[in-house]
Amino acid sequence: EEVADAVKFADESPALTAELLAPTTYDGPFASNGARSERLPDGEEVGHYQGAYKVTEGMLEKFGEKRVIDTPIAEGGFAGLGIGAAMVGLRPIVEFMTWNFSAVAFDQILNNAAKVRQMSGGQYTCPIVFRGPNASARQVGSQHSHAMEHFYTHVPGLKVIAPAFAADAKGLMKTAIRDNNPVLVMESETLYNTKGEVPDDQGPIPFGVANVVRTGKDVTIVAYSRMTHVALEAAEKLANLGVSAEVIDLRTLRPLD
Amino acid sequence: MFSVTLRCLGRQVHQQNKSLAPLFTYSKNGLNTEATFDTKPFKLHKLEEGPATTVTLSRQDALKYYKDMQMIRRMETAAGNLYKEKIIRGFCHLYSGQEACCVGMRASMRSYDAVITAYRAHGWTYIMGVDAVGVLAELTGRSTGCARGKGGSMHMYVKNFYGGNGIVGAQQPLGAGIALALKYQGTDGVCLTLYGDGAANQGQLYEAMNMAQLWKLPVIFICENNGYGMGTSVDRASASTAYYTRGDYVPGIWVDGMDVLAVREATRFAIDHCATGKGPMVMEVVTYRYSGHSMSDPGTSYRSRDEIQEVRQTRDPITGFRERMLSTDLATADELKDIDQNVRQVIDDAVKRAKSDKEIGLDELTADIMSNPIDTRVRGVTAFDTLTHKRIGPAVNS
């Protein structure tokens, strides 16, 4: 009876709104980004080491256990293993179950992946991709809602991408895998269900090139990842008010166009 | 006391007392071509058998190990002096006392085996192929340093030597990853992954050991136990100081790190184990550092001068090895004196180069941040004061 009462109370209680939530977070509505990874490029041409869980459907079957490896829950350790393997010359893709947990591996990314090239006087490079869902999802609490790109974008030696559309996610991922530097791919958990057209022949998309996703002449809105979609909705609303808004999708945060 | 076996031009002569060694001087040049020694027993963890404790040493190898250990000792003395002269700035962690570790290990490595270590990297850098100029000039920040003067004491590199790492405990997963890559590439290469007794308490070591054992990675986790993590003795930092057992499910071996031959044999044993697909191994190499942790540490507040002196007098890796060579007629005192003089000359010349070679220009401050920079302007002290990104050359691994 007590449980039934509790369920009734929960059902009838008002949902937390954005207006209520915003003041409790330091960057409110900008704490979100990402892209769908349902059909991530599978990187046929790469030497392949994959961390965390096999969320990428069919990959294990396609590439086998030598290339697709389930790791223990040890972010610092498996990020380090990937970096070590990259220093030998493999091109690993390391997945964090979410970027929130990369905080445990922050030192490996910051001090080893990002710096080894410069510190070794150019002798060792680190061609590695780290990827995973980033930023707020829905009702997952503050430990699972970090927008980690803000930390990583300011580290020299790292490249950070945050696509908003499926085709960009594929094209940028291809570029990431081919890049000889550590590239961090920030996907958005909340965009994983967003569908989009992906050309069969989608090629690599260069880093550092933003995309004008809506033209306009009165005002420009610059966004990335999930907020690009929000910006497009806002532009639509502005159009109804007679304001012509341009929307620019950054696509890559470092380098910045 | 160790028993000695001598082989003179193919003839084996057994001898119980090393003081009798001078009796056996009838080879062509009056010297033996090889000798056999007993090492201190190895301690084993989860191993049925360990390396042989009877070790054969050729005259040629003996001369090489002696020269290498002397070179490192002398190089470190020179580094200490350069630091005191304020020519070396920044960090400077000396390897003096630990020479038998890297020289012994290198003696059993194949050309394609890899090494990664922590911040006490000078000796390792030398033994992996960088000459004394490359090490000392790196310390003085010259362009002839092995990392163009940008790494310094803790960040030296060369092919198959993955540093020189400054974050205590972060290099062990890298070592396991290097081993993963060696295995993935289909070689039987092994990665020697070194850490100190201090880093033995870092969690990432155990993450790396777990994955290495799960995936049978060819990695030797080597604890260079010199008794102190900075100023904290092993007893004050580790609930268990039997570091060779701390891999739990990973087999381990304890080695006298002051005996270059014991280290060599244990390393050969461990490499065989890893290279034949049996997975990782832990090796604890018990050694001692004569200097403080770094140049700002006199090294006497947490240990006594008597303790240091006693190790120097009774366990010094070079003195002990020298005595073995002389007592078994593997070399003459004059030969060793010649080596010492040659080493002194090489180091003196290297010091001159380390003082006089050119420093890199300011334009290299922002070199090699990326392999293919798109942003060619790099932020300086302020956003309005930018520098240009520059690429020096291709990396060894690309």
What is the spatial distance between Cα A43 and Cα A93, in angstroms, rounded to a whole number?
Answer: 10
Based on the fold, state whether residues A171 and A233 are members of the same structural domain. Answer: no
Q: Are residues A110 and A224 in the same domain?
A: no
> A139: which residues sit within 8 A by CB, 6+ positions away?
none
Contact A112 B182 (CB under 8 A): no
pLDDT for B383: 85
Please, what is the Cα angle at B166 between B161 and B169, to 5 degrees?
90
State mean pLDDT over B364-375: 85
- Exposure pattern of B53-79 as b/e (b: 16+ CB <10 Å)? eebebebebbbebbbbbbbbbbbbebb
Q: How many domains does chain A have?
A: 2
Same domain flag for A197 and A216: no
In terms of domains, do A168 and A111 share one? yes
Residues 6+ apart with CB under 8 A from B83: B92, B139, B295
- The answer on A232 and A158 residing in a single domain is no
pLDDT over 70, % of chain A: 83
| pLDDT over 70, % of chain B | 93
Whether residue A76 and residue B150 make contact (CB cut-off 8 A), yes or no, is no
Does some domain include residue A12? no
Q: Which residue in A has a C-alpha nearest to residue B378's C-alpha?
A: A156
- Residue range B371-391: mean pLDDT, rounded: 85
Alpha helices for B85-130 (secondary structure H): 99-108, 122-127
For chain A, the farthest-separated pair of C-alpha atoms sits apart, in whole angstroms, at: 70
Angstroms from A23 CA to nearest CA on chain B: 31
Nearest to A124 among B162, B176, B370 (CB): B162
Q: Does A80 touch chain B (CB under 8 A)?
A: yes
Residue A11 in domain: no
pTM of the model: 0.88
Stretches in chain A below the pLDDT threshold 50: 18-55
- Tell me, what amino acid is at B122? H
Residues A100 and A114 in one domain: yes
CATH number of the domain where residue A58 is located: 3.40.50.970
User: For a pLDDT cut of 90, what percent of chain B falls above it?
Assistant: 82
Q: What is the spatial distance between Cα B388 and Cα B65, in angstroms, rounded to a whole number?
A: 45
Range of the domain at A85: 26-205
pLDDT of residue A56: 62
**Minimum-distance CB partner of A181 among B145, B370, B394:** B370
- Find the closest chain B residue to A83 by CA distance: B174
Q: Say whether B180 and A89 touch across the interface (CB within 8 A).
A: no
Which of B320-326's residues contact partners 24+ apart within 8 Å by CB, and which partners? Answer: B320/B258, B320/B259, B321/B62, B321/B65, B321/B66, B321/B69, B321/B100, B321/B259, B321/B260, B322/B66, B324/B2, B324/B18, B324/B35, B324/B37, B324/B57, B325/B62, B325/B66, B326/B21
- Interchain contact, A83 vs B172, CB within 8 Å: no
With a cut of 50, say whether residue B37 has pLDDT above it: yes
Reported CATH class of domain B41-356: alpha beta
Residues 94-133 of A with CB under 8 A from B: 107-108, 111-112, 116-125, 127
Let me know whether A184 and A225 are in one domain: no
Q: Mark whether A217 and A165 lie in a shared domain.
A: no
Q: Is the pLDDT of residue B6 over 80?
A: no
Q: Does residue A225 sit within a domain?
A: yes
> Is this prediction's ipTM beyond 0.90?
no
Q: What is the mean pLDDT of residues B310-317?
A: 97
Instruction: Mark whether A191 and A217 lie in a shared domain.
Output: no
Contact criterion met (CB < 8 Å) for A83 and B177: yes
A32 at the B interface (CB within 8 A)? no
pLDDT for the residue A23? 36
pLDDT at B372: 80
Pairing status of strand A159-161 against strand A252-254? antiparallel
Q: Are residues A43 and A117 in the same domain?
A: yes
Residue A85 in any domain: the answer is yes
Q: Residue A132: beta bridge partners? A: A186
| A131 in the same domain as A159 | yes
Domain-located, residue A9: no
Cβ–Cβ of A77/B211 closer than 8 Å?
yes
Ranges B21-35, B81-95, B171-185: which has the least confidence: B21-35
Does A98 reside within a domain? yes
Q: Quick one: average pLDDT of B131-140?
A: 98
User: What are the residue boundaries of the structural domains of chain B, listed by start?
Assistant: 41-356, 366-398
Residues A179 and A244 in one domain: no
Across the range B86-101, mean pLDDT stands at: 96
Pick the more confident residue, B314 or B371: B314
User: Does residue A13 fall inside a structural domain?
Assistant: no
| A-B contacts at Cβ under 8 angstroms | 177
Q: Is residue A184 part of a domain?
A: yes
Q: Which strand (E) or helix (H) includes residue B63? A: helix B59-84
Question: Is the Cβ–Cβ distance between A160 and A152 less than 8 Å?
Answer: yes
